[in-house]
């Protein structure tokens, strides 16, 4: 059971907008920023969003992040087939004194 | 180009030990905190441990506390993870990753080294 809760799956058709949620608590998302990772099949994770809503250089503007209270969201607009991957949220947790990850959301592009 | 190359994985019996290494290049290693993250077969990501730039401060997940030790050699640009009292549930692909500035986000990852704990 992960400390951060994500839906196990999400799907959309090319061109659609998809949102993935991440729910936590006051000790993690409620107090710290959220980072999102994309993991394509059989590859290492890639930092997609940091400090809740910032994109590293090279990440398309189609990817955006937001945070409100103890929840965060990743939105992908103009969905493309290459976006099919697993997506993970993560944050620092000061009760555990550790980084905590969500269980991951498998995004399928139909 | 930033590169992180893990090594040291393999098959070990329950109760055994392994030492993982992560050779870093392409950035100033001593200026960056580092971390280990693992992924069991078919499962999600699990943060394992982190270490400050100097090595003086370390952090551990409860699942490995008291069994794993993270360390670094800044003169050799290398990160380590000493794993003792290994259990079947420690079986995973172990990634080392570079912390992105002062946030607990990780901007560069290695390709991982596989640890299998089995008799």
Q: What is the pLDDT of residues B19-70, one digit of tens each?
A: 999 999 999 999 999 999 999 999 999 999 999 999 999 999 999 999 999 9
Q: Does A54 touch chain B (CB under 8 A)?
A: no
Q: Is the pLDDT of residue A73 over 90?
A: yes
- The dihedrals phi and psi of A67, each to the nearest 5 degrees, come to -145, 140
Chain B residue with Cα closest to A100: B47
User: Confidence band (pLDDT; 50, 70, 90) for A59?
Assistant: very high
pLDDT higher than threshold 90 for residue B78: yes
For the segment B99-112, the average pLDDT, to the nearest whole number, is 92
Beta carbon pairs, A and B, within 8 Å: 64
Q: What is the mean pLDDT of chain A?
A: 96
Contact between chains at B44 and A50 (C-beta distance less than 8 A)? no
For residue B104, pLDDT over 90 is answered with no
Q: Does residue A87 sit at the B interface (CB-CB below 8 Å)? A: no
Residue spans of alpha helices (H) in chain B: none
Q: Please compute, for residue A80, the number of CA atoms within 13 A of its CA located in the half-sphere on the CB side.
A: 6
Do A98 and B37 lie within an 8 Å CB cutoff? Answer: no
Q: Kindly tell me if the per-residue pLDDT of B103 is higher than 90.
A: no
B63 in contact with chain A, both atoms CB, cutoff 8 A: no
**Helices (H) then strands (E): counts for chain A:** 0, 9
Cα separation, A51 vs A66, in Å, equals: 9
pLDDT at residue B101 greater than cutoff 90: no
Chain A residues with CB-CB distance to B103 below 8 A: 33, 35, 50-51
Average pLDDT value for residue range A69-98: 96
> Residue B64 and residue B67: Cα distance in Å, rounded?
5
A1, pLDDT greater than 90: no
Tell me if B96 sits within 8 A of B22, measured CB to CB.
Answer: yes
Sheet holding A71-76, edge to edge: A18-23, A71-76, A63-68
Percent of chain A scoring above 90 in pLDDT: 98
Average pLDDT of the residues of chain B: 97
Question: Nearest CB to A44: which of B59, B95, B100?
Answer: B95
Residues of B in contact with A88 (CB under 8 A): 44-45
Q: How many residues does chain A have?
A: 110
Predicted pLDDT at B102:
78
Confidence band for A31, pLDDT divided at 50, 70 and 90: very high
Taking contacts as CB-CB distances below 8 angstroms, the residues of chain A near B110 are 44
How many beta carbons lie within 10 A of that of residue B118, not counting itself? Answer: 10
| Mean pLDDT score, A92-105 | 96
- Encode pLDDT of B62-72 as tens digits: 999 999 999 99
Is B100 within 8 Å of A96 when comparing Cβ atoms?
Answer: no
Instruction: Using an 8 Å CB-CB cutoff, list chain A residues near B37.
Output: 45
């Amino acid at each position: 059971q992960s400390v951060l809760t994500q839906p196990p799956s999400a799907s959309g058709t090319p061109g659609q907008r998809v949102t993935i949620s991440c729910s936590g608590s006051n000790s993690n998302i409620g107090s710290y920023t959220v980072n999102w990772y994309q993991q394509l099949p059989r590859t290492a994770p890639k930092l997609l969003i940091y400090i809740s809503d910032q994109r590293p250089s090279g990440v398309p503007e189609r990817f955006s992040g937001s945070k409100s209270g103890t929840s965060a969201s990743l939105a992908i607009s103009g969905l493309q087939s290459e976006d099919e991957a697993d997506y993970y949220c993560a944050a620092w947790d000061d009760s555990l004194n550790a980084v905590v990850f969500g269980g991951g959301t498998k995004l399928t592009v139909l | 180009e930033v590169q992180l190359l893990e090594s040291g994985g393999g098959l070990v019996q329950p109760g055994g030990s392994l030492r993982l290494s992560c050779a870093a290049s392409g950035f100033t290693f001593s200026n960056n905190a580092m971390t280990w993250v693992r992924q069991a077969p078919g499962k999600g990501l699990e943060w394992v441990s982190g270490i400050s730039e100097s090595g003086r401060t370390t952090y551990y997940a409860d699942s490995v506390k008291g069994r794993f030790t993270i360390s670094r050699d800044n003169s050799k640009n290398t990160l380590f993870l000493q794993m003792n009292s290994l259990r079947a549930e420690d079986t995973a692909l172990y990634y080392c990753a570079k912390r992105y500035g002062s946030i607990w986000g990780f901007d560069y990852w290695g390709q991982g080294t596989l640890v299998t704990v089995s008799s």
